[in-house]
Structure formats: C-alpha cells, structure tokens
Amino acid sequence: MDNFSSSLPLKPNPDHLVVKQAINWLLRLRNNGANPTLQQQCDLWRAAHQEHELAWQRVQSLQQELNANLRSVPGAQVALHTLENSSQRLGRRQALKLLSGALLLGSSAWVGKDLLGWQQWNADFATAVGEQRGFQLPDGTRLELNTDSAADLDFNAEQRLIRLRRGEIMVSCGADHGPAHRPLLVQSRHTLLEGFDARFVVRMEDSCTRLSVTHGAVAIHAPQTADGRNARVEAGQSYQISHGLAAPVAPLAMDVGAWADGLIVTRNMRLDEFLQEVGRYRHGYLGCSAAIASLRLSGVFRLEDSDKLLAILPQTLPVRLRYRSRWWVSLEAVA
C-alpha cells in the first residue's frame, strides 16, 4: 500500500490512487465483514491520513447512491445481486471493472457526474481529457500521461512492465540497479517495447502504436520489421507499429514530447492536422473547411486553455472561428 505523509494538506478531491485503495478496502470488507483484524486494519488506514478518510467517505457515498439508483431501474436487482457477490468470484481488477460497469445502469445525471472518475479508478494511472500528469515510479522511472490516457504497472522480480491501456505516455527510464537487472518494458495493444536508459513517447491509436525516441534507445520486441529482425530505435527516430509490422516513419511536424510541459510546438504543420491534435485536449468537434486545411503554421501554443489557443489562430492565419456551441467549433476562410 502506498504511504502518504500526514503533513499533506487535505485536497477537495482525493488522489485517484487513494480512492482505489478505499475501493480495495470496501471490496475486502464485503467479503470478510466478520474479520475483526481486517476491520481494524481498515480503520488504521483511514486514520493514517485525512485524505484516506475523505476517499473512504466518497466511496461509501457513491456506493449508496449507486444502490439507490439501481433499485429505481426495472430489473436492476439482478445487477445488484451480481455486484454483491462479485468480489467473491473475481480478482481485484475484475471487481473494480464490474463496479465501473454497474454505474451505467444508474441515472443519467449521476453517471454524467461521476462515471469518468470511476473509469479512472479502474487504472493505476489515468488522466481526463485535457489533463497531463506525471508520476515517479518505485524504480525511479518517470511516467508522464497525456490527455485521456491510462496505464497499469506490473513490477515483479523479473520485469518492470507498464501496460498502456489508452492514450499516450512518455517514459524516462534507466537501468535497474537491483540484483535482477529487470528490463523496463512497455506494452500496448500492438507491440512490446524495451527502453535502455531512454526517454521515449508511446502513443496508442485504434489501428497502430507510434513510438518516438528522444533520448537513448528502445527495442521493439514485437512485431518484427520487414526483414524479420527486432528493431532498435535510436534518438530522433520514430516507428509506426501495427499488429503485423513495425516500420520507420517520418517524424511528426511537432515536438512529440512538448505536451509534458503543457505545450504544442509545431514546425510547418498543416492546419487540419494541428486542429486534430488540439481536439484531443477538448470535448466536442473541432475542424476546418477543406479550403484552408493545407494552411501551415509554426509556433508554440499553450494547452491549458484550448479556447484561448484557438483565438490566436485568426491573428496569424486568414481564418475565422465559428462557434455553433461550446462543443462545436470550426475554422473557415476569411471572406
């Protein structure tokens, strides 16, 4: 279990890792409610830090509201019965997934308010749309998550494995100084990578995973390249990896790791590609007419407020913004 210093100030919303611990305690107590030792351990955990108690109260409150909403849905008693017994038949992660899925049966207002949080709790590390977060891992590796991303850790005696579940991560790693010299691996839907004293970005899309190395070297263990060999990707190189092949590609017209500093840094980038990139950091539609799609722009843009970022574009390009709503924005040529 993670340790949290008692000197930390109380936050309005507890850290998602602390909330996951609270969910763990909830599931364990539901299985072993008559175990006084387990109950005492949970009480000690709650008393160890005020953020622990806040997370516990939030989880309890959400569960009570979930139960109330489920009981108001026709046929939901079956789902409640399944939820009551899930932790007896499933492991920790499967039980958390069931909790997340059960929320879909609740009222639309309740789901709209809290579903994102439950989805994030189901991963070891996660970010919302428009958010970037950084984490220091137990071995000293630095893990950065870009917008709408999630990853899990599987560190054991043989390996240090990061599983990318969605989105984009930046990994800064070194050699394992322990006796086992465990490799640092990153697994996505399409590939298995190994970093060697490296900093690299892994971006997973529906059809492929893109690897860009900015320092050191990364080995692609699967799939192999066209010549049947495992690829070793050096600093400055990029690869696109699908289910069947790993192939080198030209670098993007942008700094691949600038998002970790809250920036988009472009170099003669097409406007439609730029808007597609900015669209990852906001909800709704963002696009442009075909007449201006090929316009080019270079510069440094801050991601913290995408509306302010978009407002800059008419100052440098012959375009105008059209807001149909907060969630539907298009760029058109100046008449």
Where does the pLDDT of residue 6 fall: very low under 50, low under 70, confident under 90, or very high at 90 and above? very low
pLDDT exceeds cutoff 90 at 2: no
| pLDDT at res. 239 | 96
The string of pLDDT tens digits covering residues 52-77 is 888 887 777 666 655 555 455 444 44
pLDDT exceeds cutoff 90 at 173: yes
| pLDDT at res. 45 | 81
| pLDDT at res. 100 | 45
Question: What is the CATH number that goes with domain 133-249?
Answer: 2.60.120.1440
| pLDDT at res. 102 | 44
pLDDT exceeds cutoff 60 at 226: yes
Q: pTM of the predicted model, to two decimals?
A: 0.67
**How many Cβ atoms from other residues are within 10 Å of residue 65's Cβ?**
16
Residue 11 CA to residue 171 CA, distance in Å, equals 27
Determine which of 21-25, 76-80, 93-97, 101-105 has the lowest per-residue pLDDT on average: 101-105
Average pLDDT of the chain to the nearest whole number:
81
Question: What is the CATH number that goes with domain 258-333?
Answer: 3.55.50.30
pLDDT, mean of residues 107-116: 39
| pLDDT at res. 65 | 55
Task: For the chain, give the percent of residues with pLDDT over 90.
Answer: 51
| pLDDT at res. 113 | 39
pLDDT, mean of residues 180-196: 94
pLDDT exceeds cutoff 50 at 296: yes
Task: Domain ranges for the chain, please list them.
Answer: 16-122, 133-249, 258-333
pLDDT exceeds cutoff 50 at 103: no
| pLDDT at res. 60 | 74
Where does the pLDDT of residue 114 fall: very low under 50, low under 70, confident under 90, or very high at 90 and above? very low
Amino acid in the structure at residue 154: D
pLDDT, mean of residues 219-238: 87
pLDDT, mean of residues 17-33: 76
| pLDDT at res. 8 | 35
Determine which of 68-72, 133-137, 145-149, 189-193 has the lowest per-residue pLDDT on average: 68-72
Cα torsion through 162, 166, 167, 173, rounded to 10 = 0
